[in-house]
Structure 1
């Protein structure tokens, strides 16, 4: 299918479906009100991921608990196509990862974007409040608007249940971990109300010297079954992070490159204990309305309001001296506050036209973000004292020793973003064929006003885009389902060329050929995918202009292979395997980067996990898990590709034991043990040769829980 034919063909397909629907309606199986208002990430409908001709992985609550995942990065370690090792083990204040070679900061929570101001204030969702994690690989702009072409992560919240369930848990472990959590759900008496409540308190030392981590979270949710056809959900998520470790980096020299002074320890810190604050507070409040219009048509409205703030004091590297130990630094602070809201309206319906069964989706969504940012640093002022990395003094900086106001980079400005999207999608089943087509129009506006980097700024961005998607799958009787898809993405681009012309959005497109497999008993499933993504309109240097002039002449190509398999060869044994081979290259550029590979893109990723449940003998009640993950070499200098961050193989284990097998009085009690990076391997990630991070060192956690 040629690209030029995709947009009109999808529009004709959708129009013909509506015309046919006007002539013939066949009543299908009765729709149910979904108590969790859940919609599949890949289609925004209740259809199963297996019916979607595109790669998607679903990590359910059992997998998250068994691997003791407490962050988005930890949850994604065993997923194909995803690299979570970007900022190392000591940095946790941003959920940062790459999918199919493209960096992504934009997480989704229950299908709606977590509003991010592109600075330091990124709302995060603690994994305790998450029921499952869905990884949708490839362009997703047809349903979700602005998004990098590699894919997206959607976190599905824990929601109310009619059955009563309660759990309390205490945990301790490495780095002086102290954690307490509670989960409760059930029906409120004999009423039409059911609830879910999740709460957490956690503190521990950070991996880097002198750093600390602290978090408090509560997430209540209430379902109101207004009638047989209408459900309203009210939800709240509040999180307070008084301390969030570090954000500073280290030079590659002393990590994996030679240094005359030796190797740095994995807890090395280039910052200052007196100037390393990060205090973040996030409130999310929303509702969902799910209404069955009739047996075949459904309406869902999802709304969320965001109020968030973050204050930090920090340092950054300003160059390593020739002695290999003295690191020059600058100190800075940021003070950020964001308010905004998102709303998504969906009407979906099922109908029959001849032999074709349709699942039509029509929707529009809107988001609005308003963020104030203050930034100050010591550049052009008194500077910050340097640090000896091999004999550090972590207590050199205070507000009285540095001048951080009205310096060269002083900034105080406001950011506004607004995005309106209208989308249409039809999924058609004819016999064993499943086809999907979608189209979306987006209108994006953004403004920045105030003072930025010492100069006045008053810029406005107004861009619109049309994204399309088409795919086809054949579900054979032998369990094999080959598929082919094409999808597009877009990302707004700020800036102008030297003639004053605003940039166009950066766009991407993907071709993906794959096959899914499922045995009749569903004990074995697999997905093999080959893909190629091309991203265009990437800003690069203008050869006819000055050193800072840009034109949109850049392009990036990502191609690769992904394999994901899950098998249950025995009733007690569950195996998962994933492999990624990726080749990412800058194919167009005016800065000498053509032919280069970006950083944070290992060529190979391989992982496997095994769970075994013992059901007899002295080990009855024990569930044991072991995993191994291989992270291949990656570039540490995007401009030269002159060397690689070393590869590494990491081992993780997890054990859970039901104490009810020892005594009836202990029914509901469980103990757990998990160890990440069992052999305590040294490993690293780098943005460039001057900015690297250690991977997470060995961490051990033990827990005891009681469910009733």
Structure 2
């Protein structure tokens, strides 16, 4: 049986002050929490797909557990990752929440994982999201991961671990309100069903609020039930369901840099500025995920796990985009468009693992076969729309009478299909104080786009295969210092061909990483220092001997940097975490003038610090207070010239949790919460180019009350 165990630490002591049912209401002593098994037999470490602890893995991995997520009041993947090293979040600003997008080690990533399986994404607008209320833990695996997961950008991946059934009874009801008319209610329950071999987990959420941009709204409804069936001592079957309906998801439109951080003769735009139209700003997404896991212990040393999930999703949107800012600095010309998208598909991962010993070497063998299939239909329509005055906007201009959205020059109706088959092998060896990992994987990826696209026809097919390898070694020192080195490869399929009809090869990447991990004997202090260099090859660039749209694979991008992640508890009541990232990303080969340039969305420096302090006695007995600061360095907004920078910013967040059980025994289990993000209401931005920028999230305040029983 492989289980993930969170060891008792002073972190649990500090955060436990807010969980009143874990101690007597009149106790003033520091709380001591028992060792708690959070995951059962179907959990696997993201970095290895085994039970090897992250601290013993010769590669960088960060784990944000439930205590950290709750204390920081994270309500999205982006907000959860704000305090993780190597990750830049909110690339499309704080007003855009309809997709989870971030860069890891300088490479953009749309492909998230949920319980070890890829969330099927059609490369358009239909990206399934998992609400953080349904997530127990967030794991960030930095560096190439293709040896275990197949197609993936070389910077790394994020795996969201869902809340699991438990035989221990737990129930929680929470309501919250706050900025922008936030109204939220959630419920969480888990436990054993009577005296049966069934245990369950149920998470539900409903949330409405105004969007950050003027006239916009956000709404979400989610339910996630899961059942474990302990068929026998050696066999467990889990059935899980995730349903989410987002009737409204804010905005997706952009603003020009002029009026944000570049000079504009009309002054500055407000943080709620909106370049779209209230009559043409609809986005509704509905996602159903249904899956199962079968875990069977063949004997004491050999195990089989099958993880399967079916996806059925759809999204409809009406929207606008800007096509140019006039010389007056205020009039933005626009296009109106709509998309209607559906996706069905499934993904399955079969893992066969075994443990045996040869001499003094202990082996943990992993053999896997995974497969995914995606089938997506996309309708796209696009037409001219009335211009808007950004400094005196009329957000109610578009009607069916003044635009013709169907059968225009850009009309599209086409089908996307993807299939990926992967076979992988990994050997994890423990030899005295050494941990050695080696892996290899073969992938076969096929893709197809067929139908009517942008007024013409499209019939593209893609068939690419690739072999990825990985190797790493770590020495676990008796003094808690564990140096390591690793090499890993990635691959991403590339659609298209050169002007002679030669199909592109996959884009591949490789990484060398040298690191040092530290864990003190008393578990009070841990740290990870990593030096890395990633090179991504076969990047398509313009063909200098062809037409304006002809491409060849002449590009190369190099990312190198330093990451430091540390956690310390200097006294029982104080926990401090700190992260620093220095990244240098550069186009190293190109024939279009980009050589030597830095891509957008890549700040050179990222720094964050968070501290939690628990009060044990006095009038504040029962209070846990957290404060954090995060620095986001300057980033390019013109990838072609690197002639301008998106300004840097420093943001402050606070969170408070207060257990009313410390006031009165009758209120045991009741907790009050208050969080403020961007406390000083700093204006900050992200940009794809000077015409397409977004505001970061403005100051938001949320107050909550919860009851656990």
Q: TM-score, normalised by structure 1?
A: 0.95
* Number of the residue aligned with 2:637: 636
Aligned residue runs from structure 1 range 190-201, under 5 A: 190-201=195-206
Give the SS at the match of 1:76.
helix
Among 311, 316, 326, the alignment partner of 1:321 is 326
Q: Where does 1:47-58 land on structure 2 (aligned, <5 Å)? A: 47-58=52-63
Match of 1:7 in 2: none
Rounded Cα–Cα distance in structure 2 between residues aligned with 1:407 and 1:593: 35
Contact 2:41 2:295 in 1 (8 A): no
Contact 1:33 1:292 in 2 (8 A): no
**Residue 575 of structure 2 corresponds to which residue in structure 1?**
574
- Give the equivalent residue in structure 2 for 1:37: 42
- After the TM superposition, list the runs of 4 or more consecutive aligned residues in structure 1 that deviate by more than 3 angstroms: none
- Quote the residue 1:87 is aligned against: 92
> In the TM superposition, what are the counterparts of 1:222-233 in structure 2 within 5 Å?
222-233=227-238
SS in 2 for 1:77: helix
| CA deviation map 1:288-308 (0-9, x unaligned) | 001100001111000000000
Aligned counterparts of 2:308 and 2:669: Cα–Cα separation in 1: 37
1:270 paired residue among 275, 278, 284: 275
In the TM superposition, 1:207-286 aligns within 5 A as: 207-286=212-291
Separation in structure 1 between the aligned mates of residue 76 and residue 591 of structure 2, nearest angstrom: 38
Q: Displacement, 1:522?
A: 1.1
Distance 1:492 1:368 in 2: 15
Paired residue secondary structure (1:75): helix
Aligned counterpart, 1:174: 179
- Whether the aligned pair in 2 keeps the contact of 1:610 and 1:626 (CA below 8 Å) is yes
May I ask how many residue pairs the two structures share in their alignment? 673
SS at match of 1:437: strand
Contact 1:299 1:347 in 2 (8 A): yes
- Which residue of structure 2 aligns with residue 510 of structure 1? 511
Please state if 1:395 is matched with 2:396. yes
SS state of the match for residue 92, structure 1? coil
The secondary structure found in structure 1 opposite 2:83 is: coil
1:282-328 deviations in Å (ceiling 9; x for gaps): 00000000110000111100000000000000000110000000000
1:208-227 per-position Cα deviation (integer Å, ceiling 9, x unaligned):
00000000000000000000
Aligned residue among 150, 154, 168 for 1:149? 154
Residues in 1 aligned to 2:299 and 2:644: alpha-carbon distance in whole angstroms = 62
Which residue does 1:133 correspond to in 2? Answer: 138
Map of 2:114 onto structure 1: 109
Task: Tell me the alpha carbon deviations over residues 649-708 of structure 1, each in whole angstroms, 9 at most, x when there is no partner.
Answer: 000000000001111110000000000000000000000000000000000000000000
Q: Does 1:648 align with 2:653?
A: no
1:622 aligns with 2:623: yes
Structure 1 residues 419 and 136: CA distance shift in structure 2, 3 A:
same
Contact 2:377 2:414 in 1 (8 A): yes
Shift of 1:572: 1.1
Of the candidates 181, 188, 195, which is equivalent to residue 183 of structure 1? Answer: 188
Partner of 2:75: 70
Gaps spanning 5+ residues in structure 1: where? 1-31
* Cα distance in structure 1, aligned partners of 2:558 and 2:664: 59
Q: Return the alpha-carbon distance in structure 2 between the equivalents of residues 670 and 428 of structure 1.
A: 46
Alignment partner, residue 204 of structure 1: 209
Q: Deviation digits for residues 497-538 of structure 1, max 9, x if unmatched? A: 001000000000000000000001111110000000000000
Unaligned runs of 5+ in 2: 1-36
Q: Deviations over 1:457-490 (max 9, x none)?
A: 1111000000000001101111000000000000
Correspondences of 1:265-414 after superposition (within 5 Å): 265-378=270-383, 383-414=384-415
More deviation, 588-597/232-241: 588-597
Partner of 1:3: none
Change in 2 beyond 3 A, CA 1:196/1:36: farther
Residue of structure 1 equivalent to 2:604: 603
Following the alignment from structure 1 to structure 2, what is the Cα–Cα distance between the partners of residues 649 and 34? 36
**Which residue number in structure 2 is paired with residue 8 of structure 1?**
none
Following superposition, the deviation at residue 45 of structure 1 comes to 0.7
The verdict on how the C-alpha distance between 1:408 and 1:523 changes in structure 2, with shifts beyond 3 A counting, is same
After superposition, where does 1:480-519 map in structure 2 within 5 Å? 480-519=481-520
- Aligned-residue CA RMSD (Å): 0.9
CA distance in 1, matches of 2:309, 2:496: 30
Report the equivalent of 1:16: none
The residue aligned with 2:703 is: 702
Instruction: Name the CA distance, whole Å, in 2 between partners of 1:349 and 1:624.
Output: 45
Whole-Å separation in 1 of the counterparts to 2:278 and 2:698: 21
1:165 aligns with 2:170: yes
What's the TM-score once normalised by structure 2's chain length?
0.94
Instruction: Determine the structure 2 residue equivalent to 1:24.
Output: none
Q: Is residue 33–residue 230 contact of structure 1 (8 Å, CA) maintained in 2?
A: no
Per-residue CA deviation, residues 43-65 of structure 1 (Å, 9 max, x unaligned), is: 00111111110000000000000
CA deviations 1:170-214 (Å, max 9, x no partner) are 000000000000000000000000000000000000000000000
How far apart in 2 are the matches of 1:596 and 1:399?
44
Query: Is the contact between residue 35 and residue 223 of structure 1 (CA under 8 Å) also seen in structure 2?
Result: no
